[in-house]
Amino acid sequence: MLPKELLKEVRRIEIKTGHLVDSLYSGGYRSVFKGRGIEFAGIREYYRGDEYRSIDWKVSARTGKFHVREHIEERELQLVVALDLSASMAFGSGSREKRESAVEFAAAMSLAAERNNDRAGVCLFTDRVEKFIQPAKGRTHVLRLIRELLYFMPQHRKTDLRAPLDFLNSSLSRRSIVFLVTDGLTIQPLERELRIAAAKHDLIMVLVRDPRENLLPDVGLIEIEDPETGAEMMFDTSDRAAVAKLARRQSQLDEEFMKTCRKLGLDVIRLTAGESVVKPVCRLFSEREKKMAMQR
């Protein structure tokens, strides 16, 4: 029996993200994500009208009759959300922390996979992989994923995107949809790992930000603590030149992040703590559908 608090939270997430889950189920999800492709189904005797390129010449030579290889399109998808649980994800200047918005997104995508009878799994990480739940199907499994997303307490505070990338690159044996959810911005040294992951999987970066990370209000002297290192410093928010410099640095990191993603051909979803996770996802799906229409 699941705790009442968990069921209540799951219900809240389902209601809040219902539009996203419904829209994905109605077709967008299937049209913008591809399955594993073509899977071998067997060999049968050649019939007049069969495509000659499907003839299996080795079997035909062995049997003395033409045989063809049959294939079916494999549409079952596997989805994995790799979620950053470092200390900086606990920051939130409004109604919700970055982690809460990230969890909402991860839960919505897991529920969408469950609705489509696909496999879903999660990889929770800091500067190392702290917990991995293998992708699987079913309502009970998804409830377990959401429970871990909501209540798992990481043992470490720092962030290292190399940890989940190396782990997923080596442990996922089949092509998957991988959402890498983080507020970390320094990804240039990780181009090799990102390139490998993008070649093996459908890798989508999910960047979680808070409005106050780009623009601090004038509230005088404040004490700032780096959540990942514990280092403390005083900062004068009345010094608008210093605030502007901080904002420029943040914008520069954002632009470097986006530039690297564009270079590697990675799609990016930008989430803002406390705001809807539905609109950014629907925006990405719309962009993907347009790209696919242009390629036809």
Q: Give the confidence band of 72 by pLDDT, cuts at 50, 70, 90.
A: very low
Number of CB atoms found within 10 A of residue 231's CB: 9
**pLDDT for the residue numbered 51:** 74
Same domain for 218 and 82: yes
How do residues 174-225 score in pLDDT, each as one tens digit?
Answer: 889 999 999 876 666 888 999 999 999 999 999 998 887 766 666 666 666 6
Same domain for 277 and 169: yes
Q: Cα–Cα distance between 153 and 99 in angstroms, integer?
A: 12
CA-based end-to-end distance of the chain:
49
Name the residue with higher pLDDT: 40 or 295: 295
Same domain for 272 and 187: yes
Name the residue range of residue 42's domain.
38-74
Same domain for 48 and 169: no
For the domain that residue 264 is a member of, what is the CATH number?
Answer: 3.40.50.410
Same domain for 222 and 84: yes
Name the residue with higher pLDDT: 136 or 6: 136
Same domain for 81 and 107: yes
How do residues 12-52 score in pLDDT, each as one tens digit?
Answer: 877 777 766 776 655 556 667 765 445 555 788 887 777 77
Q: Give the confidence band of 228 by pLDDT, cuts at 50, 70, 90.
A: low
CA 261 to chain centre: 14
Instruction: Give me the number of domains the chain comprises.
Output: 2
How do residues 241-291 score in pLDDT, each as one tens digit?
Answer: 887 887 788 788 888 888 889 999 999 999 999 888 888 988 888 888 787
Same domain for 58 and 137: no
Same domain for 211 and 243: yes
Same domain for 246 and 178: yes
Specify the DSSP element, H or E, that contains 39: strand 37-45
Specify the DSSP element, H or E, that contains 78: strand 78-84
Q: Cα–Cα distance between 268 and 281 in angstroms, integer?
A: 10
Same domain for 167 and 80: yes
Look over the chain and give the mean of its residue pLDDT values, rounded to a whole number.
83
Same domain for 207 and 104: yes
**pLDDT for the residue numbered 112:** 87
DSSP 32: H
pTM over 0.85: no
Note whether 131 and 152 are within 8 A (CB): yes
Q: Measure the CA dihedral 30/31/36/39, to 10°.
A: 100
Where does a domain end: 48, 74, 100? 74
From residue 239, give the alpha-carbon distance in Å to each of 84, 223, 243. Answer: 32, 14, 6
